[in-house]
Amino acid sequence: MRTGRRGPPGRWSGLAAVSTVLLASCTGPAEPLMSGVLQRGDGVSIAWVSVGRGTPMIVVHGGPGMDHRYLRPGLDTLGAAHRLVYYDQRGTGGSEAPLDTASINLDAFVGDIEALRAEQGAERVLVLGHSYGTMVALGYALAHPDRVRGLVLLDPVEPGSRFAAETGRRFAAARTDADVQALRDLVDSPAFEAREPQAVERMYRIAYRATVPDPSVLDDLDLAMEPRTARNGSEVTALLGGSLQGADWWDELGSLRVPTLVVHGRAEPTPVAMSEALAAALPEGRLVVLETGHFPYVEAPGALYEAVARFTSGIDP
């Protein structure tokens, strides 16, 4: 799929019924079933781990420039009804890639999801994207609508710029002077210059304080950095961001006839109006607003899992 252009026309496929298990009733993470490394050629390999049982759901982490670690074990509870396939995007975590424009771009990231789908032996999959990962998930759905049973966009970023100014204002208002100064001091430190994992973790912990109403919930996030993630994250961010520069998909969304759940935390910097517009622009979109910030799987896991369970159980066979 080329960014900023209309994706290939979708065709409707029957969607398999999924479990009606109430995910919120489950406690504890699901045990991994298997893991592997998918070789993509040209020095690219994608590390993945499968958790839980049931309908396959590929989980697309945010960032960009992070890996899947921060989503676990919080999202593992979804493994009660789905076989979650977590993976590390190119150049981070356990996944290798040259740090250049030929390897780090949206089309390549979309291709990795398609390769993972085939690797898992699934004709169609559910796809869940979180934060910036929703752009990659949407890109995949636009390029391969016939391979997507359903799409979950968890605290999405905007697929365009209509709400960029308001989002920026809300983010600035949520960040304290103390956090701004702490970030400046950290970025100027030798440890951060060397991309030491603990320094990069500290940067994320400070930055994310502006995305949640209660910063103490960040203690429940595993933000420990894998060495490759700490070392490569900023460059992956720049390269992927460059491939999405100027992308605006608002006019394309009407062609995406895939059941889609948009989950928005009311307290996060992105305004609710953006997610309302996103759900409305999608022919089969629906919106759930939670009283959370950017990480509902640790802030209000029961409410999140119930919303996902209701959505997936309601997908027509």
Distances 119 to 187, 204, 227, 262 between C-alpha atoms, Å: 40, 32, 27, 27
CATH 3.40.50.1820, domain 23-170+234-313, yes or no: yes
Angle in degrees, CA 108, 112, 117, rounded to 5: 150
- 157 DSSP 8-state letter: P
So where are the chain's domains?
23-170+234-313
| DSSP-derived secondary structure for 217-253 | GGGGS--PPPHHHHHHHHHHHHHHHHHTTT---GGGG
Three-state DSSP class for 149? strand
First and final C-alpha spacing in the chain: 28
Count of helix runs (H) and strand runs (E) in the chain? 10, 8
User: Which candidate, 96, 97, 68, places its Cα nearest to that of 84?
Assistant: 68
Cα–Cα distance, 126 to 149 (Å, whole number): 5
To the nearest 10 degrees (0 to 180), the angle between helices 133-143 and 106-119 is 70
Write out residues in the chain with pLDDT < 50, as ranges: 1-28
Overall pTM surpassing 0.85 (yes/no): yes
pLDDT digits (tens, 9 = 90+) for 222-236: 999 999 999 999 999
φ, ψ (nearest 5 deg) of residue 252: -90, -20
- So what's the pLDDT on residue 80? 83
Question: What span, in angstroms and rounded, lies between the C-alpha atoms of 228 and 306?
Answer: 35
Would you state the structure tokens that stand for residue 57, as one six-digit string? 């759901």
| Model pLDDT, residue 16 | 25
pLDDT value of residue 317: 59
